[in-house]
Structure 1
Amino acid sequence: MSRFTGPRLKVMRALGTELPGLSRKSISDRPHPPGQHGARNKHRKSDYGLQLIEKQKLRFNYGLTETQIRRLFREAKRDKGPTGDKLLELLECRIDNAVFRAGFAPTGIAARQLVRHRHVLLNGRSVNIPSIRVRVGDVITLTAKARQIGIVSASLAEPALTRPEWLGWNDKDTTATVMRLPEPDEVPFPVNVQDVVEYYAVRM
């Protein structure tokens, strides 16, 4: 998977929302879009523009390529339930996101790196594929070596987000257990997933 290495704050300003999986920084000081005329740009966006923004929120927060999110959308569309809700569930259940939401890493990008470097244990076994999907009952923890990493210990001491209810936390063993599947309203940033569904409905 290609990794985004561009200016993260600039992306969040362009999308008009803070994405915790992308960066811990805030756009409150400069909430307008980047660029010379960003603060004065009051033009109403088209329906396509609004749909594109919502889709890009998911892409950048979860660190996906366009190909990956399209693949997940196809899978969500085959489900019997609402496509948008299923898409959010699939995104939240990625192991790199679960590592981030559990507080092992300060951002989704850092969590993905932990997985890639085999610092994450899933049910006691080392994994290195960020897209692995966690299931109910799975136990996530880190290797002893990983717990000595500075950003990991700092994140455990002060997690970027409150741990969601779908993840049970054992402070004694420093483990996270998947208690249930995540709900759509547990996504940690505002997103109109129906716009994402409409975006792909005419393109796939």
Structure 2
Amino acid sequence: MSRFIGPRLKVMRALGIDLPGLSRKTIEARPTPPGQHGNKASRKRRSDFGVKLLEKQKIRFNYGLTETQMRRLILDARKGKEPTGERLLQLLERRMDNVVFRAGFAPTVIAARQLVSHGHLMLNGKPANIPSIRLNVGDEISIKAKSKNIPMVVETIKQPALERPEWLAWEADKQLAKVAHLPAITDVPFPVDVQLVVEYYANRV
């Protein structure tokens, strides 16, 4: 399945939740699902499969992943000593594109991925252009000197989409973010029942 490039607000309305990694907009003004039967759809009871699918889609769209990437992450999450769900969310939060977003260099994960792919970021003082790189404790990310005047970067650093998480140490004078410690399940910026996601993939990978 390819990466989603359609209307983001429509996706959030369908899922019934704001996803900060997908869009800075909110569904507050139009909380019902899209379509002429939106109000009826919002009252319809979901099946067990539908509930699990919903939780999985929250993660996939917020972090901008393809289904293939989700399956790989699930397999990686199963290898750790921690519960699979907790490790999955930790792996997602540690992706470089997400860290760039959470550090306040970009307004969404999608915009952060573009910054990374176009070579505007530095990882531990060296150029890095792979959005899926996983950062570890002590790793530092910063914007390249020639990229600091990009209007989107300037504006987002002044007013990040989300408050910078406690697991990222921010050095404002250097415009640098450092991974102080690994993120916890409570650091995910939207509500998700990750155990249902694990159950969704139980017989699919």
TM-score of the superposed pair, with normalisation by structure 2: 0.97
User: How far has the Cα of 1:68 moved from its partner?
Assistant: 0.5
User: How far has the Cα of 1:2 moved from its partner?
Assistant: 4.7
Distance 1:19 1:147 in 2: 26
Distance 2:4 2:145 in 1: 28
User: How far has the Cα of 1:39 moved from its partner?
Assistant: 1.5
User: 1:176-195 alignment to 2 at 5 Å?
Assistant: 176-195=177-196
Name the counterpart of 1:11: 11
User: How far has the Cα of 1:202 moved from its partner?
Assistant: 2.2
Quickly say closer, same or farther: Cα 1:104–1:193, change in 2 above 3 A.
same
Unaligned runs of 5+ in 1: none
User: 1:43-192 alignment to 2 at 5 Å?
Assistant: 43-192=44-193
Q: Which amino acid aligns with 2:126?
A: R
User: How far has the Cα of 1:172 moved from its partner?
Assistant: 0.7
Name the counterpart of 1:29: 29
Q: Which amino acid aligns with 2:21?
A: G
Unaligned runs of 5+ in 2: none
Q: Which amino acid aligns with 1:10?
A: K
Moved more, 174-183 or 141-150: 141-150
Distance 1:46 1:203 in 2: 18
Distance 2:99 2:181 in 1: 12
Distance 1:99 1:2 in 2: 22
Deviations along 1:49-101, one digit per CA (max 9) or x if unpaired, are 00001001111111111011100101111212100000000000000000000
Quickly say closer, same or farther: Cα 1:147–1:2, change in 2 above 3 A.
farther
Q: Which amino acid aligns with 1:69?
A: M
User: How far has the Cα of 1:161 moved from its partner?
Assistant: 0.2
User: How far has the Cα of 1:40 moved from its partner?
Assistant: 2.1
User: How far has the Cα of 1:3 moved from its partner?
Assistant: 3.9
RMSD: 1.1
Distance 1:81 1:109 in 2: 28
Name the counterpart of 2:38: 38
User: How far has the Cα of 1:192 moved from its partner?
Assistant: 0.5
- Structure 1's consecutive aligned runs of 4 or more residues displaced over 3 angstroms after TM superposition are none
TM-score of the superposed pair, with normalisation by structure 1: 0.98
Aligned length: 204
Q: Quote the sequence identity (%).
A: 63
